[in-house]
Structure 1
């Protein structure tokens, strides 16, 4: 089974790049400067920001399904990110170095299974969940803070 982990499309976030701190605050967002790495995981490029890089911290609706599992939460996007990452049959380092929650959803947006994994155990968990036949796609969340990390689809 092959799979693809994709970062978010940068298009909806580009209008935030370069806004003043006041303008961001008026939108319920804020600018964050990475002061350690790892520490600020970008959702577009699927990497940790380098020290000194800036990110926009904002609320993002990652589960749009019209189900009880519809969800939104805080995410970081690197200010200026313009290329969406794609990892085929590979778990990016930003995820491997953290405990993640893998949530399997059916086509109607209902959770059908879930698993916690870290490091080298993430890829086998992805394959188990997608291989079960019940899951249409997966969402990866960083377990410690609960933030959405990325979507995983069969490739």
Structure 2
């Protein structure tokens, strides 16, 4: 079964790029500079940022559904990121190297199934979850830190 993985659209974040630290702090956002790789996964381009790059650490509503599963958590976005990751049947390296939590939701935001898998082994989990016609989409989170990683849909 074909699947599409997408990162976050850059537009909601672009107005934050370049703001002074005090203004970011007033919005609950922290600027970080990458000091190791991997370790700072950008949720727009879906890749680990390079040492020295500037990242914004902020709270993001990853599950906006009006359901008991509405959720938000901290994520990183790379300052200056302009192109959201969007690929069919390709798992980005940022996911491959991490332990992942996959959560399958119905279109109305109800959790139908969840599983944990190493990034190198997620295709069978994706296939199994998407085989259920009630599944509308899958959210992927980094299992250890719990941060939202990306969205998976049928193609």
Fold match (TM-score > 0.5): yes
**CA–CA distance in structure 2, aligned partners of residues 146 and 35 of structure 1:** 21
Matched positions, count: 155
**CA–CA distance in structure 1, aligned partners of residues 27 and 153 of structure 2:** 31
- State whether residues 21 and 30 of structure 1, in contact with CA within 8 Å, keep that contact through their aligned partners in structure 2: yes
Instruction: Map 1:32-111 to 2 at 5 A.
Output: 32-111=32-111
Per the normalisation by structure 1, the TM-score is: 0.98
**CA–CA distance in structure 2, aligned partners of residues 84 and 70 of structure 1:** 23
**2:8 corresponds to:** 8
Q: Deviations over 1:24-81 (max 9, x none)?
A: 0000001011111100000000000011111100001011110000011100000000
**After alignment, is 13-22 or 129-138 more displaced?**
129-138
- State whether residues 97 and 120 of structure 2, in contact with CA within 8 Å, keep that contact through their aligned partners in structure 1: no
**CA–CA distance in structure 1, aligned partners of residues 119 and 65 of structure 2:** 29
- State whether residues 90 and 123 of structure 1, in contact with CA within 8 Å, keep that contact through their aligned partners in structure 2: no
**2:142 corresponds to:** 142
What is the aligned-residue RMSD (CA, Å)? 0.7
**CA–CA distance in structure 2, aligned partners of residues 46 and 113 of structure 1:** 24
Unaligned runs of 5+ in 1: none
- State whether residues 141 and 148 of structure 1, in contact with CA within 8 Å, keep that contact through their aligned partners in structure 2: yes
4+ long deviations beyond 6 Å: none
**CA–CA distance in structure 2, aligned partners of residues 3 and 54 of structure 1:** 31
Deviation (angstroms), 1:133: 2.0
Per the normalisation by structure 2, the TM-score is: 0.98
Unaligned runs of 5+ in 2: none
